[in-house]
Structure 1
Amino acid sequence: MTTVIPAGQRERNAELVRGLYEELYRAHRFDAAGRFFHADCTEHDPLAASAAGPADRWQAMTREFPGLRADIDHLVADNDRVMLFATWTGRTRSGEPFRLHTAELYRTRDGKVAEHWNVVDRDVLDAHGLAGGPDGEGQPAAPGLHGPHSDTERANAELVLGAYRDVFSDHELDLADRYYHQDYRHHNMRTETVPDGLDAFKAFFADNIAAFPDLVTTVDHIVAADDRVMVFVTWTGTLTGAWSGGGPSQLPLQMRTCDQFRIENGKVAEHWEVVDYLALRRAGLPTP
């Protein structure tokens, strides 16, 4: 059965979010916030929820980092949801360069943003003396696809969910071949040292599972459009084993990531990620 996707909805929501970034986060037209956010918009970012709205939080950040601006790196629009990666660049008050990677999820209603979640590399903020907040703070999940999707999009989503279930939570590394191409490409938004390919993938996660024998993943949000799937994921475990970078610390891990997958011929061909490295550091491991 072919599912009919509402014509133009995804495109309109993508344009709404791109306009938001252009007006507020690049041109600094803070008085335009009402064009993009509902007055009763629900804000799940603990760093922004204490402000009087997204424009106030943004203005505070520009005072801390003059010239701050955001560029959208990847964007997936899925019915009433838009998920993206953003790179924020500017300068510190002392003139040093500032660079931050985040992932953002917007739920739209009637042409404006009604709800917002994100994943922030709080390790960068912490290095600049800004409070990173508690791990796993205040962002409730909205799991599962929302709205109509094509059969291919649903199959792609099930592929990604299966990988998190079988490989990352059940630790069945031998099943990774079922989900990933042998020569798949891996992109970390913070470091270029992450190797490509399934063999490197298995070695990396064998190391992680040895360090965190109780490692479990929970997919909190998922969107799918065309050949792309993006997810927000919470990783939990305890550093009770040895890892190539350190351990065991006996400390808990509660880390959030956002991952984008490009699916080709029924398997992952390419993967991008934003990681909250502060959670990893608090568990006792070094960060890139």
Structure 2
Amino acid sequence: MKNILSLVITLVLLFGMSCVDQADKADLKALKSKQHVEEHNKQVIQKYWEGKWNERRPEILDECQTPDVLYHGSSMSMTGRDAYKAVYQSYLSALHNTHLEIEELIADGDRVVSRCLLTGVHAGELEGLPPTGKTIETQMFTVFRLVNGKIAEEWEIMDELGFMLQLGMELRLKEPAAE
């Protein structure tokens, strides 16, 4: 009887450890898969920033964005890659010798957050402002949402006031309304 009881206890323990082991393996596999997706998404964003500003290749948008990409900026929003390309082209024409330095990339699931420093020379008209020849430097914080390895949505915040002040624009208070 003792032998049977010992055998039953041993089998129960082995079965229990086997179940835990299978659950742990499934959890580990899911974690590795998530980590793989996050690393891949970070590589997409690195490629995107490098191609967009350092190599100045408009076709990088086709490679890295979905056709219906959504852009949310502090002063404008856009829907679709074609609208994005038009704005990007105006910045390429206005800013020469651009360089973007990725200072930090953080991935979590389908999101990647980047903190970058963009520099360039204002050598062409930008939003009605004639070229100044001045070097600009601006910090950018961007949150990307990726779907199947492509950018589907982008939220970007940059110091637009500081950017415009570097180009020579002046900030003036409005005159009070006449009574």
> TM-score band, normalised by the shorter chain?
0.7 to 0.9
Render the CA deviation track for 1:39-95: whole Å, top value 9, x for unaligned.
xxxxxxxxxxxxxxxxxxxxxxxxxxxxxxxxxxxxxxxxxxxxxxxxxxxxxxxxx
**2:122 pairs with one of 235, 239, 245:** 239
Aligned-pair identity in percent equals: 22
Contact 1:2-1:151 at 8 Å conserved across structures: no
Contact 1:230-1:258 at 8 Å conserved across structures: yes
**1:182 pairs with one of 55, 67, 77:** 67
Structure 1 stretches lacking a partner, 5+ long: 6-148
Render the CA deviation track for 1:119-165: whole Å, top value 9, x for unaligned.
xxxxxxxxxxxxxxxxxxxxxxxxxxxxxx71000000000010000
Larger Rg: 2
Separation of aligned partners in 1, 2:85 and 2:117: 20
Per the TM alignment, residue 2 of structure 1 is displaced from its structure 2 partner at its CA by 5.2
Contact 1:211-1:243 at 8 Å conserved across structures: yes
> Is the helix fraction higher in 1 or 2?
2
Aligned CA distance change for structure 1 residues 198 and 253 (closer, same or farther; 3 Å) = same
Per the TM alignment, residue 268 of structure 1 is displaced from its structure 2 partner at its CA by 0.5
* 2:10 aligned residue: none
What is the TM-score with the length of structure 1 in the denominator? 0.46
Q: Secondary structure at the match of 2:126?
A: coil
Q: Does the alignment pair 1:254 with 2:130?
A: no
TM alignment of 1:117-266, pairs within 5 A: 150-188=35-73, 190-191=74-75, 193-266=76-149
RMSD across aligned positions (CA): 2.2
Separation of aligned partners in 1, 2:31 and 2:150: 24
Separation of aligned partners in 2, 1:254 and 1:160: 20
Per the TM alignment, residue 245 of structure 1 is displaced from its structure 2 partner at its CA by 2.6
Separation of aligned partners in 2, 1:219 and 1:3: 29
One-letter code of the match for 2:120?
Answer: G
Q: Does the alignment pair 1:275 with 2:158?
A: yes
Render the CA deviation track for 1:160-187: whole Å, top value 9, x for unaligned.
0100001222110012111000111111
Per the TM alignment, residue 266 of structure 1 is displaced from its structure 2 partner at its CA by 1.1
What is the TM-score with the length of structure 2 in the denominator? 0.72
TM alignment of 1:9-20, pairs within 5 A: none
Per the TM alignment, residue 285 of structure 1 is displaced from its structure 2 partner at its CA by 7.1
Aligned CA distance change for structure 1 residues 177 and 150 (closer, same or farther; 3 Å) = same
Contact 1:217-1:233 at 8 Å conserved across structures: yes
Contact 1:245-1:285 at 8 Å conserved across structures: no
Give the paired residue count. Answer: 142
One-letter code of the match for 2:154?
Answer: H
Per the TM alignment, residue 3 of structure 1 is displaced from its structure 2 partner at its CA by 8.1
Structure 2 stretches lacking a partner, 5+ long: 1-27, 170-179
Contact 1:2-1:150 at 8 Å conserved across structures: no
One-letter code of the match for 2:71?
Answer: H
Per the TM alignment, residue 201 of structure 1 is displaced from its structure 2 partner at its CA by 1.2
Separation of aligned partners in 2, 1:270 and 1:4: 24
Separation of aligned partners in 2, 1:258 and 1:160: 13
